[in-house]
Amino acid sequence: MTRKSQKINENQRIAASHGNREILKMNASQIETESHGTSASHRSFESHIGHASRNMSETHHSSASREDSDPPEPSAGNNGSAPTIRFLIEQYYDIQKLRVATFNRIVAYCKAKDSHENSENQDLNASHHQFENHPEYADQLEGGSEKERADGKYRDEAWDLAESEPDDLPREVRDLIWYFKSLYSTEKNLAKRLDIWSRDHSLRMEFLSTIRGIGPILSSGLIAWLSPISRFENISKLWKYCGLAPGQKRTSGEKTNYNPKLKTFMWKIASSFEKQKPEACKYRKIYDEKKAYYMSRPDLKADIESGRKGAKLHVRLMAMRYAVKRFLADLWVVWRTMEGLPVTKPYAIDILGHSGYEPPLSARKG
């Protein structure tokens, strides 16, 4: 072989190698785009858990610089500090979001198969796009299993498919099922740890456990974020810390006067109340009554009847906000009473002279 032919072959080999690398890059980019970063998020989560003992103090210090009013550690249990529990709760909901999105992709496969579009090269991404515009987020595992929460035959089929894993499944679907089960297992393990952490706390045993819609996850979050309750001299300060005071909103370039993560957590509580039955949950009943009041208010009623965009959603969010504020008021009264701290009547009763307020059962004497 001549030097010229050797050089040509060498150039071809380099070009082919370069082409393969480019193809690999393109495939890697495509896979990353299709998964929407879920694998990376899961690996990040595992890394955080694996090094929690080493990194948690750093996490707490960095959080303290952003949220100066973060509470000290409560004596809820020996299974982690308050910063650790707050971190795990955030990860719990992140994992849950990924799990639901993955399950929706399995549902998309079942729907496509039923429509005779179940070839090995079917476009799962198109089905995924259809579902990702309508995500479903469950607040707690204790609300029922995935199958119990699912509605429609395709969701039932997806759950059965994940349990049985027949041999003729395409590789892509097998990977989805594996990822779904991994996320589901991690979610359950996190729920178990969070349950143990607050199980023996007096607030949970005497008050939170009696409220439909407040389970172990939400209980642990409330205790971890709001301890010690002694720093909130009145309910208004607690509402403000949770981002529920009038006029509170985030403005670019300005420091917030509330805890943004806690405000998000409050909306999860409000959403949980909304899912309960009014005859079983006091705060769902409060939500319904306030929503009916807003619906009949002349200005809001006019907006709804005129078909103004977002009018119904605005009413719903206002009612949710009111319900969770009422819940926090009761929690504040009960918790401070349990710890022997002074308790004042709500502003609307004590100052404005409103009537109809009924204190929570745990705070009544006699």
What average pLDDT does range 307-321 have in this prediction? Answer: 95
Q: What is the pLDDT of residue 130?
A: 42
Which residue would you say has higher pLDDT here, 181 or 136? Answer: 181
For CA atoms 205, 217, 335, 57, the dihedral sign is positive
**Whole-angstrom distance between the N-terminal and C-terminal Cα of the chain?**
104
CA angle centred on 75, ends 343 and 272, rounded to 5°: 70
User: Per residue in 143-176, pLDDT tens?
Assistant: 444 444 445 788 888 999 999 988 889 999 999 9
Is residue 51 over pLDDT 80? Answer: no
User: Per residue in 275-301, pLDDT tens?
Assistant: 999 999 999 999 999 999 999 999 999
Quick one: pLDDT band at residue 181, thresholds 50, 70, 90?
A: very high
pTM of the shown model: 0.67
Say how far apart CA 169 and CA 2 lie, in whole Å: 52
What average pLDDT does range 251-259 have in this prediction? Answer: 84
Is residue 49 over pLDDT 70? Answer: no
Say how far apart CA 318 and CA 291 lie, in whole Å: 8
Q: What is the pLDDT of residue 114?
A: 76
Q: What is the pLDDT of residue 291?
A: 96
Which residue would you say has higher pLDDT here, 246 or 222? Answer: 222
Say how far apart CA 344 and CA 336 lie, in whole Å: 10
User: Average model confidence (pLDDT) for the chain?
Assistant: 75
Is residue 214 over pLDDT 70? Answer: yes
DSSP characters over 287-304: HHHHHHHHHHSHHHHHHH
Nearby residues of 218 by Cβ (< 8 Å), 6 or more positions away: 139, 140, 208, 265, 268, 269, 272
Rounded to 5 degrees, φ, ψ at 200 are -100, 10
Q: What is the pLDDT of residue 61?
A: 41
